[in-house]
Amino acid sequence: MNNALYNHIKRFVDIDKAECSKLLGYFDHFNLAKKDTVTHAGEKCDHLYFVLQGCLHTYFIDNNGAEKTIQFAIEDWWITDFLAYHHQIKTEYCLQAVEASKVLCITYEKQQELFAEHPVMESYFRKIYEVGYGAAIRRLQYIFTYSKEEIFYRFRDEFPEFVNRVPQYLIATYLGLTPEYVSKLRRKPVS
Amino acid sequence: MNNALYNHIKRFVDIDKAECSKLLGYFDHFNLAKKDTVTHAGEKCDHLYFVLQGCLHTYFIDNNGAEKTIQFAIEDWWITDFLAYHHQIKTEYCLQAVEASKVLCITYEKQQELFAEHPVMESYFRKIYEVGYGAAIRRLQYIFTYSKEEIFYRFRDEFPEFVNRVPQYLIATYLGLTPEYVSKLRRKPVS
């Protein structure tokens, strides 16, 4: 069993190593190079990814042809287009490695088998999605509440490593800012 | 068993009426008058609501003292501050009835008992949250992509009854617009 996934599952549900070791058979393991794309916009969304090492993001192309990052995932985060994945339809997003990454990948079909054979994983994903849903709502609140400068500083305070690791043009679109604006803020000293 | 909840659960998981009829014991049933508040900002968030009839919203008070709607729930929708509910901490949101409403309410503690005794409900809520999480990300995409006018028209096209039913100042803050702007757009004929 991959230790990172085992440790993550244990944080949310009671599971022993023997059962957990059976779970890995449901997953594929990939190494991704920087900028490798695992799902393209327009493809059926039937894969879910867990980041072991590195960073992935989903982005879409806006009306002006610009790439806009809508989600990030670093170590121990799950990522896909959850709405398209749930409905098993085409996604509007590209899912790409921001940096060289190692991921575990499960197909929708395999995940349904996983739920049937290991019901504890229903509880695990119910909790993962509960947190993800709540955090996405909180992100909307920030966008509606704070000035662009406040949004950047709150994000930097909450995820300092992230800001130093991820290209600033990606952070900019994720926060609804321009790359030039983030570049200017980033040069300011940490308060 | 309440038929609305039974019909909703059946849409997501295989469950028979006998098992479903046992679920109602975990819930309280409330009638709410318009503007009744069920959770205040600053209170521990330990209740989850299912709307049988009517409409609820969560809102917060922004830095200028203005109420901003962050979520709506109409019939068959679940609502709470999911992040605070998951962590069993205080919420920053008020949860209030927009119109006279009937709701089912479950406490966090009762929901954990429900999961232990009826594991099929883990699957049901996993799917509810999967959709909610995906939809919240899609809402962020709209905010980053479309002009204010496009955001309103897309919302109106997707939820026409909603726009006619809910006060426009609530729709405005939900979409990140001013009430005056929504009022102006609403008077335009449907294209």
Query: CB-CB: which of B68, B92, B145 is closest to A144?
Result: B68
The CATH class of A28-104 is mainly beta
Confidence at residue B164, expressed as pLDDT on a 0 to 100 scale: 82
Shortest CA distance from B115: residue in chain A: A123
- Alpha-carbon distance of A110 to B153, in angstroms, equals 39
Short-list B138, B112, B109, CA closest to B125? B112
Label residue A90 by pLDDT band (50, 70, 90). very high
Average pLDDT over residues A1-28: 90
Q: What is the ipTM of this complex?
A: 0.91
Query: Is B167 at the interface with chain A, CB within 8 A?
Result: no
Shortest CA distance from B174: residue in chain A: A144
Query: CB-CB: which of A63, A70, A122 is closest to B122?
Result: A122
Q: What is the pLDDT along chain B (191 residues), one digit of tens a residue?
A: 578 999 999 999 999 888 888 998 999 999 999 999 999 999 999 999 999 999 999 999 887 888 889 999 999 999 999 999 999 999 999 999 999 999 999 999 999 999 999 999 999 999 999 999 999 999 888 887 788 788 888 888 888 878 888 888 888 888 888 888 888 877 776 55
Closest Cα in chain B, distance from residue A99 (Å): 22
Contact B173 A144 (CB under 8 A): yes
Query: CB-CB: which of B86, B127, B140 is closest to A134?
Result: B86
Confidence at residue B44, expressed as pLDDT on a 0 to 100 scale: 97
Closest Cα in chain A, distance from residue B38 (Å): 19
User: What's the sign of the alpha-carbon dihedral A159, A163, A167, A168?
Assistant: positive
- Chain A residue numbers with beta carbons less than 8 Å from the beta carbon of B122 are 119, 122-123, 126
Query: CB-CB: which of B71, B145, B173 is closest to A137?
Result: B71
Which of B11, B106, B128, B140 should we substitute to test contact with A (largest number of A Cβ atoms within 10 Å)?
B140
DSSP state letters, B73-140 = E-TT-EES-HHHHHHT-B-S-EEEESSSEEEEEEEHHHHHHHHHH-THHHHHHHHHHHHHHHHHHHHH
